[in-house]
Structure 1
Amino acid sequence: MIMFNIVMKILYILLFMIPLSILRYYPFLDKLRISLRNVIIIYTFLITLEAGVFSYITNNGSINGMEIQVYRIAWGGIFALYSFIVIKDKFFKQFFFYLIVASYSAVIFGTANFLEANIFQEVSEKHPYTITNVAVIVQIIFTFPAMFELILKRLKKFADSVETDIWKFIWLIPFMFYSMGLIFTTDLSTAESWKHIVTRYMIGIGAFTACYILLKTLKQLSDNANLKERLYFIDQQLQMQKKQYKAIAENVEKTRKARHDLRHHLILVRRYIEADKKAELLKYLEEQHQSIPVDVEKTICENTAVNVLVCYYIGLAKEKGIRTDFKISIPTDIGILDSDLSIIFGNCIENALEACERMKSGEKFIRVRAGMKMGELVIVIGNGFDGHVLYDNEQFFSIKRNGNRGIGISSVRAVAEKYGGNSEFKVVDEKNFKVSIVLRTKV
């Protein structure tokens, strides 16, 4: 029986930490500072130490319920600190998920403590933690899959679309719910009261519901912002097409007129030659050269949407004295929406153009390379800039928005992720900025 009770105590600690740690770490597996293997090794050492010490002090000393709570909270703090160290992501975003998991834990163990203290008192006196362990296991079997899906497929999905700065505030919602739970239900002497378990359930469900609704609302706001940006680029594309078609029409008219007058020009040139009037001939040819229509960029790329955008920006760049070097080879239909291509090329080239305009010295240039490579669309955009960027914690901030996070780069990243690709924004040196994007096409 002694050995059985020791096993139950160790199992109690394992049940308290392992299932909840899965919920804590799984959404951030791609954000670990060290390998997953090393994370597990260190974690195993810590939990073995916790379980061993807990078993020792409960078997060889007098320890009351409140002291057990303090012990659990102390080790909970150690594991929390460890997780914040090994996960590389925004602190408040991590804290938000940590509090969600902690609220779930409070409901699970609150129910288990209630059953042990209120219904199975005789069994708990002979075999401490046995009823609690059984109750926790049963609850985990029935609730863990739903909780896992809620955190991974719902909350994480919404959270990934939320602006960075918002995390500084929204963690307060689960924090307030969790704090209320600690205040009203920490004292295990109240576990025999139905108020104890009801309070925990209300606080836990309230926390999940509030966080779910909040993140869903924030995601909807983010989607609306992205939709507005798509509409902006579609409207901009239509305006560009109108300007381009107008320029082409004017050139066609000028070309038609020039062809009509060509016979008269040839007769006049012939007469200048026959009269040996070279000076007059050169002057006349120069006058005609000045009247020849200026070329309109219209064959940069086969893809109409991309072609219209880049032609427009090439024209703007030339007007502002910015050197352009565009080599783009994108087919008409590659399985990527025109609106998504517009978001990428529109945002990136517009940012490059604005960066060049801010330069007071150095070479102003925009270089674009884009094409298909092994079923992927690879886009590389480089430009000169003045060396001034607003960058913090892997995030670029908009200079034109007074340091606030603009939606342009976020939209580009979202499009890249939508097609299973990635994007990188990089300061090459003090005079060069580079954007690299890879999209997996669906053809």
Structure 2
Amino acid sequence: MIMFNSAMDIFYILLFMIPCSMLRYYPFLDKLRIPLRNVVTIYGVFITLEAGVFAYIMNNGSINGIEIQIYRISWGIIFAVYSFIVIKEKFLKQFFFYLIVASYSSVIFGTANFLEAHIFEAFSEKHPYTITNAAAIIQIAFTFPIMFKLIIKRFKKFADSVETDIWKVIWLIPCMFYGMGFIFTVDLRTAESWKHIVTRYMLGTGSFTACYILLKTLKQLADNAALKERFRFIDQQLQMQVKQYRALTENIEQTRKARHDLRHHLLLVKRYLQENRKSELFEYLEEQRQTLPVNVEENVCENTAVNVLACYYIGLAKEKGINTDFKISISRDAGILDSDLSIIFGNCIENALEACERMKTGDRFIRVRAGMKMGELVIIVGNSFDGHAILNNGEYRSIKRNGDRGIGISSIQAVVKKYGGESNFEKSDGNLFKVSMVLKTKEEKIAL
């Protein structure tokens, strides 16, 4: 009997910790500070120690319910601190997921404890945690797949689209629900009451529902902001095309007029030469040269969307005395939507132009390099700036938005992520800021 009870004690700890730990760590497997094997090894040492000591004190010592709670809470704090240390992610974002998992655990084991204390009281006195383990296994078998899918495909998806600053607030929702559940049901003596299990279910369900609705709403707001940004660049692109076509039309009209007058000019030049009036001829030629129409900006690349944007910003830069050096090689069908290319190039060059405008001294320049390399689109935009940049938690923030997360940067990152690529924002020790990114084209993604 002692061996059986000890096995149940150990199994209770394993059952309580392992499923919830899987939910805790899985969303952040790509953000571990140390290799996964090392994380699991250290975790295994901790849980073996907790389960072994728990089984010993339950069968060989005199311990009451409050002391058991203190022991369990102490180990809970150890496991929590360990997870926050080994996962490299914003603390409050981690804390949000931690509280979601803790709420799930409280519902499962609250129900199990209720069944043991209320229905199988006589049996549980001889074999503690046996009924709890059985009830927990049945609940986990039915709910764990649903919870796993909810956290991975819903909460994580929504959370990855939410701005960093929001986590300063939304963690309070699961925290308040979990806190109320802990306060009202921490005393195991209340497990004999139906209020115990009803309270846990209501608070647990309320926590999941509130967090789901909130994250879904925030994701929708983020999607709306990205869509608004996309429409802004499409509208801007149309305006650029109208401006370029208008300039081209004026150029064609002026060229037609110049061609019509060319015969008269040639006759006059011939007369100046026949009469050996060279000085007057030079003056006349210079006068005519100054009346020639200004050339429309030459094509930068084959892709119409990128070409229109590049020509537009090159023109703006020249007006403001900013040097430009654009070398772009993107075909008409680059495997990336024109609207997405417009978002990337529009935001990058617009930000570069604004950075150059803020400079009071020094050479102002914008350099753009873009082209295909091994089936991937590589884009590098470099520009001079005044050396002032806002860096918060490893992420550059918008100066014109007073340090908030810039919509432009978020839009760039969203498009890059859409094509399975990577982006990097960095500044040098001098006055150079550089944005580099790699995007997989449609053809490359199919090949993968």
TM-score tier after normalising by the smaller chain length: over 0.9
Cα separation, 2, equivalents of 1:267 and 1:52: 109
Cα separation, 2, equivalents of 1:430 and 1:108: 57
Which residue does 1:433 correspond to in 2? 433
Q: Which amino acid aligns with 2:243?
A: K
2:301 maps to 1:308: no
Question: How far did residue 277 of structure 1 move?
Answer: 2.3
Which residue does 1:335 correspond to in 2? 335
Q: Which amino acid aligns with 1:268?
A: L
Cα separation, 2, equivalents of 1:185 and 1:219: 34
Q: Which amino acid aligns with 1:426?
A: E
8 A Cα contact 1:336 1:441, kept in partner: yes
Which residue does 2:421 correspond to in 1? 421
Q: Which amino acid aligns with 2:60?
A: N
Which residue does 2:446 correspond to in 1? none
Q: Which amino acid aligns with 1:176?
A: M
Which residue does 1:173 correspond to in 2? 173
Which residue does 2:58 correspond to in 1? 58
Structure 2 counterparts to residues 247-262 of structure 1, below 5 A: 247-262=247-262
Which residue does 1:347 correspond to in 2? 347
2:318 maps to 1:318: yes
Which residue does 2:284 correspond to in 1? 284
Q: Which amino acid aligns with 1:266?
A: L
Question: How far did residue 278 of structure 1 move?
Answer: 2.3
Unaligned stretches of 5+ in structure 2?
Answer: 444-448
Which residue does 1:366 correspond to in 2? 366
2:116 maps to 1:116: yes
How large is the Cα RMSD of the aligned pairs?
1.2
TM superposition score normalised by structure 1: 0.98
Q: Which amino acid aligns with 1:290?
A: Q
8 A Cα contact 1:247 1:296, kept in partner: yes
Q: Which amino acid aligns with 2:343?
A: I
Deviations 1:12-56 (A, max 9, x none): 111111111111111111221122122112111111121122122
Deviations 1:183-233 (A, max 9, x none): 111100011111111110000000000000000111111111111111111
Q: Which amino acid aligns with 1:51?
A: A
Cα separation, 2, equivalents of 1:218 and 1:266: 70
Q: Which amino acid aligns with 1:53?
A: V
Deviations 1:237-294 (A, max 9, x none): 1111110000111111111111111222222222222222222222222112212222
Which residue does 1:47 correspond to in 2? 47
Deviations 1:376-396 (A, max 9, x none): 111111111111001110221
Q: Which amino acid aligns with 2:69?
A: Q
SS in 1 for 2:428: strand
Which residue does 1:399 correspond to in 2? 399
2:244 maps to 1:233: no
Which residue does 1:105 correspond to in 2? 105
Which residue does 1:3 correspond to in 2? 3
Question: How far did residue 298 of structure 1 move?
Answer: 4.2
Deviations 1:335-363 (A, max 9, x none): 32221111111111000000011111222
SS in 1 for 2:192: coil
Cα separation, 2, equivalents of 1:67 and 1:93: 32
Cα separation, 2, equivalents of 1:132 and 1:430: 64
8 A Cα contact 2:2 2:59, kept in partner: no
SS in 2 for 1:191: helix
Q: Report percent identity of matched pairs.
A: 76
Cα separation, 2, equivalents of 1:218 and 1:247: 43
Cα separation, 2, equivalents of 1:62 and 1:427: 63
Aligned length: 443
Which residue does 2:21 correspond to in 1? 21
SS in 2 for 1:88: coil
8 A Cα contact 2:372 2:378, kept in partner: yes
Which residue does 2:132 correspond to in 1? 132
SS in 2 for 1:128: coil
Cα separation, 2, equivalents of 1:199 and 1:301: 65
8 A Cα contact 1:272 1:281, kept in partner: yes
8 A Cα contact 1:386 1:430, kept in partner: no
Cα separation, 2, equivalents of 1:148 and 1:25: 11
Cα separation, 1, equivalents of 2:21 and 2:286: 80
8 A Cα contact 1:389 1:399, kept in partner: yes
SS in 2 for 1:324: strand
Which residue does 2:219 correspond to in 1? 219
Which residue does 1:196 correspond to in 2? 196
Question: How far did residue 234 of structure 1 move?
Answer: 0.9
Cα separation, 2, equivalents of 1:122 and 1:362: 85
Deviation larger for 357-366 or 165-174: 357-366
Q: Which amino acid aligns with 1:352?
A: A
8 A Cα contact 2:27 2:156, kept in partner: yes
Q: Which amino acid aligns with 1:76?
A: G
Deviation larger for 416-425 or 32-41: 32-41
Deviation larger for 186-195 or 28-37: 28-37
Deviation larger for 355-364 or 241-250: 355-364
Q: Which amino acid aligns with 2:199?
A: T
Which residue does 1:182 correspond to in 2? 182
Cα separation, 2, equivalents of 1:396 and 1:379: 19
Cα separation, 1, equivalents of 2:310 and 2:110: 61
